[in-house]
Structure 1
């Protein structure tokens, strides 16, 4: 697979590389405590061999290394520029603890039956063939190993106060545009079925809720960065009126002393049986 087989391409982000890295960093860190708690509930333990599929610039990798001090972590990504960013950021960790793999989630090139646990965070929504990816990750897991997919569903993404009235319509258009390119921004609701269809057993699902009163407002503001929406307008995905409406709504949200927001991340787990 090359980068075009995914709907995410860091080189083409509309808000600029620096802002996108800050957005990804906030996105990884603000809900980590709850996500890690749920990962442990699903069976993640220190000392395991862990694969992070779609590691990107390494923000979650860093957290895994910090919280699993005796584990070997492999960070896999198809984008070598993002992996270079991760290598630079995580250079303090020895090779015995951290390995990098520049490969596709469809064809990782990693050994059979090697990993105890795989974490795939916010990658499956971008994949053209999620079933193939789930099967490949199953191949590299040991029997009894776990795959946890952490992803979104824009149909139940969360809530924002003051309400952004244009946002639901814009999210529908973004989901339609991503579906046309092969992705799925509603994949959260399909994760249990995806795991079952891939042959995983003991499928379970939880939700990790991020709230600005608990995790801070900065991360939410980066998710609604108006520069991201300007790119969608320039590409013709949203109309000029929709862009003006979301800009007005974001300004009110940004300035309101009563502003708050929440987002849902869905976490589905399956076990390799053979």
Structure 2
């Protein structure tokens, strides 16, 4: 039985725990400037009481604390090792405004109506029961409080150039695998209805585009690191040709000046009225 009720555990990453944490850092920072701009547009302000669910190793939480020095911020995750890493990012002075909770997003144990703003980044695609998580977020928000979910949708995942004919089949396979495991890599398109069903109002949807020409190629190289997909190749979930195509993307981004990549992130928001 999976106590996380999630398709993701950092300790199971094929590249190893430390490398996975570094990958998460690069991923979090790729589009952070634009994501934070949108969070402000959605109403995030200094002094608000903030909860980040699925805070992982703490890199987004660290950025929030820097930008919002007067905001009490709670980081919640079920993974004890990730929470320890997150806590280690803050010195004693900074820890006065942050706290960490080891709990499930389905049952946080946090007081009802206690937060002004909830952020969930790259979490909902992994959840077996996203509706239950959204209801729990509604419970802990104050009336007038807002949730923002930042996630993906493989239907608009992005592009790599020059295009590879295998890329679409690889994306489809990962979408199918995630679905069979209980997650949803197409969650982006479902977020407005998910929030509406949980009782949120004034729902809105935005996207953030991250391009290698603008954000640098490092983040894309890490995401397409072939070591991450070796297990899928060994188990024959990916063919040798498809596995080679993934390796080729990272190689082209490193060595081909004509190569580039773009990823799209979805940001969905709603208010508890």
TM-score (normalizing by structure 2):
0.96
> Residues 156-208 of structure 1, C-alpha deviation per residue, up to 9 Å, x if partnerless?
10111122322211111111111111100000011111111111000001001
Q: Distance in 1 between matches of 2:66 and 2:32?
A: 12
- Structure-2 residue corresponding to 1:137: 137
- Structure-2 residue corresponding to 1:85: 85
> Residues 23-72 of structure 1, C-alpha deviation per residue, up to 9 Å, x if partnerless?
11111112111000100111100000000000000000000001111100
- Structure-2 residue corresponding to 1:53: 53
Unaligned runs of 5+ in 2: none
Greater alpha carbon shift after TM alignment, 190-199 vs 244-253: 244-253
Greater alpha carbon shift after TM alignment, 226-235 vs 136-145: 226-235
> Residues 225-274 of structure 1, C-alpha deviation per residue, up to 9 Å, x if partnerless?
1111212212332122321333344433432012211111000000001x
Give the 5 Å matches for 1:175-254: 175-254=175-254
Q: Distance in 2 between matches of 1:95 and 1:2?
A: 32
Q: Contact (CA 8 Å) 1:3, 1:78: kept in 2 or not? A: no
- Structure-2 residue corresponding to 1:103: 103
Q: CA deviation at 1:3?
A: 4.4
Unaligned runs of 5+ in 1: none
Q: Contact (CA 8 Å) 2:152, 2:187: kept in 1 or not? A: yes
Q: Contact (CA 8 Å) 2:160, 2:249: kept in 1 or not? A: no
- Structure-1 residue corresponding to 2:23: 23
What secondary structure is seen at the aligned counterpart in 1 of 2:109?
A: coil
TM-score (normalizing by structure 1):
0.95
Q: CA deviation at 1:149?
A: 0.4
Q: Contact (CA 8 Å) 1:162, 1:253: kept in 2 or not? A: no
**1:259 and 2:223 matched:** no
Q: Distance in 2 between matches of 1:93 and 1:134?
A: 32
- Structure-2 residue corresponding to 1:156: 156
Residues 1:90 and 1:237: Cα distance change in structure 2 (over 3 Å) = farther
Greater alpha carbon shift after TM alignment, 225-234 vs 33-42: 225-234
Q: Contact (CA 8 Å) 1:174, 1:237: kept in 2 or not? A: no
Kindly report structure 1 stretches of 4+ aligned residues shifted beyond 6 Å: none
Residues 1:177 and 1:52: Cα distance change in structure 2 (over 3 Å) = same
- Structure-1 residue corresponding to 2:127: 127
Q: Distance in 2 between matches of 1:205 and 1:249?
A: 30
- Structure-2 residue corresponding to 1:63: 63
